[in-house]
Amino acid sequence: MRIKYIILMFATLLAFSSCGEKKKKSYDEIAMSGLTTRTENLKTNIKAYANKGTLIGQMYGTLTGIGWNRWQCDSDRCDLKTLCGYRPAANGYELAGIENGKSQNIDGVPFKAIREDVLKHFRKGGLLIMNWTMPDYNGNDDMLEEYTKQVAKYLDTLQDGYGIKAPVVLNLLPVDGKTWYCKLSKDDYISLYKKIQDLLDDEDVTNVVYSYSETYQPGKNLMDRYPDNKIDVINVTYLQSKNAIDLPLYQKSIKEIVKQTLPFAQDHNNAFGLTTGVESIGDSSIFSETLLTVLKQHHIAYLMFGRNQGEPIEEHYYTPYPGVSNKKTHGFMEMINDEVCVFLEKLNGLYLEH
């Protein structure tokens, strides 16, 4: 009897131990490609949705604005929402800094706040776009691997309580003409891009859609460094600073960007997105006459505006905010009220199979 009692007690303890080690069930399905099904669906839908309209977004659109930062207040603020009643369909973020274990990115935004914002936007069905402007690893492969591991680890944390990960469009090594890797030869840049893709694959990253991103410089050709490897999105960035506003040049440049990039994207079965804006706006006709005209004539997946931040006197804004003068608002309101512009409230099924 004593032996039977001991055996029974051992079996009971083993059962309790097994229950304690049991992990919470994940409802995130994995596709044949190795990506989550939602990520695979995003790859398809971001291209298909361009035939219906353009997703309107903003860098840190629901994290920062004129006179406020989300992590410093509890309110659910958003410059676009307050101004026109719509939330951005796409939000943009920067990852630089996470590879070094920092708590804030190079724009001074806490990664904790970014994660919370990402998950909130994902739950509402919005598009998530992240840049990784990687610092120089000085040819140290061990450092490069560590950088990539830290990024992979952070991307893995972008999941809800059920283990469902938020799919992210990743602008890997965005070419801005200033960063260290822009000085690499074309072949070396492409080789580095593909190497990082392989390293992220080795870390079992399952929620990333790769994007090639380049900043337009008037008079120069685009897509020269395009790494033709698992790319599904092309982003072109063109921003004018408040100290160098040239509206005729802006209009001409937007047309040239579309002329160069859209056929290239279509030939490579890529979605085409545009990150743009004029700091302090200058004249709101850029929205109604320049950008709206382009959106109505071409299939552009998303239009991402630059970040609004700081105090009004600093004039660091790319979209109107509550309290700005009417002359900077009129053209914007005309643009967003056109049916070609899609905001979060009108966006459905971006991560579903159709």
Per-position pLDDT tens, the chain of length 354: 444 444 444 444 444 344 444 445 567 899 999 999 999 999 999 999 999 999 999 999 999 999 999 888 767 889 999 999 999 999 999 999 999 999 999 999 999 999 999 999 999 999 999 999 999 999 999 999 999 999 999 999 999 999 999 999 999 999 999 999 999 999 999 999 999 999 999 999 999 999 999 999 988 889 999 999 899 999 999 999 999 999 999 999 999 999 999 999 999 999 999 999 999 999 999 999 999 999 999 999 999 999 999 999 999 999 999 999 999 999 999 999 999 999 999 999 999 998
Q: Is residue 18 part of a domain?
A: no
What is the structure's pLDDT at 25?
A: 54
What is the structure's pLDDT at 7?
A: 43
CA distance 29 to 36: 6
Residue 77: CATH number of its domain: 3.20.20.80
Domain extent for 222: 28-346
What is the structure's pLDDT at 74?
A: 61
Q: Is residue 19 part of a domain?
A: no
Tokens of 50: 């361009």
Task: Note whether 277 and 237 are within 8 A (CB).
Answer: no
CA distance 141 to 31: 31
CA distance 147 to 186: 22
Task: Note whether 341 and 88 are within 8 A (CB).
Answer: no
Q: Is residue 261 part of a domain?
A: yes
Please tell me the total count of domains within the chain.
1
Q: Is residue 163 part of a domain?
A: yes
For the chain, the C-alpha Rg in angstroms (whole number) is 23
Tell me the backbone φ, ψ of residue 193, rounded to 5 degrees. Answer: -55, -50
What is the structure's pLDDT at 73?
A: 77
Q: Is residue 86 part of a domain?
A: yes
Q: Is residue 10 part of a domain?
A: no
Q: Is residue 217 part of a domain?
A: yes
Q: Is residue 5 part of a domain?
A: no
CA distance 93 to 110: 11
CA atoms within 13 A on the CB side of 72: 8
